[in-house]
Each structure stands twice: as structure tokens, then as C-alpha cells.
Amino acid sequence: PTATARRGGASRRVRPPVRGRDLVVDTAHFGGDRGLPRPRADPGGVSSPSPRPLISPRPLIRPRPQELEEVRRWGGVRDLQLVDRDVLRWRGLLLPNNPPYNAGAFRFELVFSPHYPLVPPRVTLLTGIHHPGVGPDGTVCQPIASPESWEPLTRITHVLQDLLLLLDNPSTERVLRPELARELSERPEAFLHQAEEHTRRYAEPRPDTPGP
């Protein structure tokens, strides 16, 4: 609607202010809809919006060869190898220093996520062990390698040093098997005897030669 105003005896029409929601763009005035994206029509006659541009995924950052060599030089590990030449799977032998586990060696596996180092490696002990901090399936109670506590700058040597520290010092604080933690707390001598016997029966022989 318009209003009529008089000025000097003459009348003229005054348009009200245009509000944002009343604006209409006349595409014909600007050359039609040329240059505007058109929706695509599928064979069934139903139009579909233009696809979004794909965002390239973050490039994979694999464990560096320097880290593998660093772990091999560390004295707590022997026979460190890639599984089937897969740089994302490492296996080796961990050598505890203290009884009741220092009579044997324990095979471990590290599995790296495609999102490493943003995601921690999964650490598994493949050799059975009588230890409250290691589950029956080889899962390890290791906060340093948990999703909640993981730091992308953590080196693999630190992860394995922490694992060795866990084996050398069984306690009731890092627990995955409450029954063994209870045995350690209430009957420590019986726990040590069982752990020594289990190590003798199931652990791998310790290498006689020093590591590289």
C-alpha cells in the first residue's frame, strides 16, 4: 500500500519503508538465474541438491622408523618385529627385572590406529601372566595409553617402560583382576608362589644374548 502526501498544493505518492522479509529479487532483471547453481534431476524426475565438496581426510601419520629403532635399543625389550611387515603392528618380548616374573619373558603386541598419534596404540600382553593389572585376555591396565589420558607426543618407548614398570611392581592400584589383587593384599606369599609357578610354566625363555 502507498500513502498520498501534499506539498505545495501537489500530491505525490509515498511508499512505506521496505522490510527485509518483503524483499523479492527479480532474477529476470539481473539476467535470469544464470550463474546460480541448479539442482540436478535424477532419472526419476526428482531433483536433488548439488553434492557438497568432499573434505579430504587427514593424512595417515604412521609410527616413524626412528621410534622402532629407539625401542630396539632400549634394554627392556628383545626380538621387536613388525607383524607381516605391517608398520601398524609390532611384537616383541618384554623382560621384567623383578621377581616373580624375571624368570621369563613376556610377548606383547602393539596395534596402532590409522589415526595415530591422535589415538593411542592398543597394548596387549600375549603371554599369560598371574598379575592383577593384566586381564585374562591380555588387556593391560595402563592409563598412559588410555583414550582419556593419551598425549599425542608420548613416545612408544615410554609406553613400554610403563608396561615394564607395571609388571615389576604388581599392586592393588592398577587392577583388572580383583581376585588377584585381593590375593596380593591378603596372602602375598601365596600370590608370589602362584605367580612364580605361572611364569615358569607359561612365560617364554629369556634371551641369553644382549639386545641390539
Provide the pLDDT confidence category of residue 56 given band limits of 50, 70 and 90.
very low
| CATH architecture of the region 65-202 | Roll (3.10)
Q: Domain residues of the chain, as ranges?
A: 65-202
Provide the pLDDT confidence category of residue 10 given band limits of 50, 70 and 90.
low
Average pLDDT across the chain, whole number: 82
* Tens of pLDDT, residues 146-205: 999 999 999 999 999 999 999 999 999 999 999 999 999 999 999 999 999 999 999 999
Q: Which of 68, 88, 103, 141 is catalytic?
A: 141
Q: What is the pLDDT of residue 65?
A: 78
Q: What percent of the chain has pLDDT over 70?
A: 68
Mean pLDDT along residues 14-31: 48
Q: How far apart are CA 96 and CA 105, in angstroms?
A: 7
Tell me, yes or no, if 141 is annotated catalytic: yes
Mean pLDDT along residues 101-120: 96
Give this prediction's pTM: 0.69
Least confident of 29-38, 104-113, 123-132, 155-164: 29-38
